[in-house]
């Protein structure tokens, strides 16, 4: 079965610094990969997704992620953190085909310091 | 477009009771999935409904059941509530166009507290 591991339950950066949130996946077939953000007391909002094609995926709010098959990774980055980026971030995976079982990582809480 | 809506927003129940949570999908979406998000954890897949039938199910006991109506809205029912059922319950909808690569849109969730 597919799974994702998010390295680091908490990440703290200064405003304007690079944001790097790590995600590694495990699957026996080509995966579809997603990053979602969750603000306090809200549902999940899609930041970006990788299905096929270009391995560098650009999303909303200046975030991007690169699918690296050789490293089984899908790390999320943003060149310059903003205070409004403080939230919980979840990496998720589904599989090619009819498997609609989306598996989420445990999440990474991003704190942005002024 | 109202997006995915869920009701109620908060709910308090006692052990052994039963609860029903409701979800209306985003306009144009015919597939509804339910997730349980315990405090400090990622969402866990409960089940998915399409064409009024349960299409796929995660590792949850039979106490968790659901229904989808002809208008694509859905209910999640949990019987014999346990303290461990306390969580945020998220509903997500998607179009059934390309299967698992379709983006799931999430509602704000229902926070259930079991005392």
Q: In this model, does residue B89 exceed pLDDT 60?
A: yes
Higher pLDDT, A27 or B15: B15
Cα distances from B2 to residues B6, B69, B74, B88, B106, in angstroms, run: 11, 19, 16, 20, 12
Instruction: Tell me what percent of the residues of chain B surpass a pLDDT of 90.
Output: 81
How far does B44 lie from chain A, in Å, by closest CA?
7
Does residue A97 register a pLDDT over 70?
no
Q: Measure CB to CB from residue B45 to each of A51, A101, A106 and give the nearest one.
A: A101
List pLDDT tens digits, range A2-58: 889 999 999 999 999 999 999 999 987 888 999 999 998 788 999 999 988 889 999
Q: Is-contact B96 B83, C-beta < 8 A?
A: no
Predicted local distance difference test score (pLDDT) of residue B1: 66
CA distance A109 to chain B (A): 10
What is the mean pLDDT of the segment spanning B9-38? 96
CB pairs under 8 A between A and B: 65
Whether the per-residue pLDDT at A63 is higher than 70: the answer is yes
Q: Which of B4, B42, B92 sits opposite A90 (nearest CB)?
A: B42
């Amino acid at each position: 079965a597919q799974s994702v591991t998010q390295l680091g339950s908490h990440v703290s950066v200064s405003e304007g610094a690079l944001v790097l949130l790590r995600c590694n996946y495990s699957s026996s077939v080509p995966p579809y990969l997603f990053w979602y953000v969750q603000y306090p007391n809200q549902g999940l909002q899609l930041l970006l997704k990788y299905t096929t094609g270009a391995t560098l995926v650009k999303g909303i709010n200046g975030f991007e992620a690169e699918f690296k098959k050789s490293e089984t990774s899908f790390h999320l980055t943003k060149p310059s953190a903003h205070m409004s980026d403080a939230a919980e971030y979840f990496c998720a995976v589904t599989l090619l085909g009819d498997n609609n079982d989306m598996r989420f990582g445990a999440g990474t809480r991003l704190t942005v310091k002024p | 477009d109202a997006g995915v809506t869920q009701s109620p927003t908060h709910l308090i129940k006692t052990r052994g009771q039963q609860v029903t949570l409701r979800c209306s999908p985003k306009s144009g979406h015919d597939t509804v999935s339910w997730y349980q998000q315990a405090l400090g954890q990622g969402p866990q897949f409960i089940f998915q409904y399409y064409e009024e039938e349960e299409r796929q199910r995660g590792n949850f006991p039979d106490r968790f059941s659901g229904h989808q109506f002809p208008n694509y809205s859905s209910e999640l029912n949990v019987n014999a509530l346990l303290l461990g059922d306390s969580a945020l319950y998220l509903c997500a909808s998607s179009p059934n166009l390309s299967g698992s690569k379709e983006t799931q849109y999430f509602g704000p969730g229902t926070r259930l507290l079991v005392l």
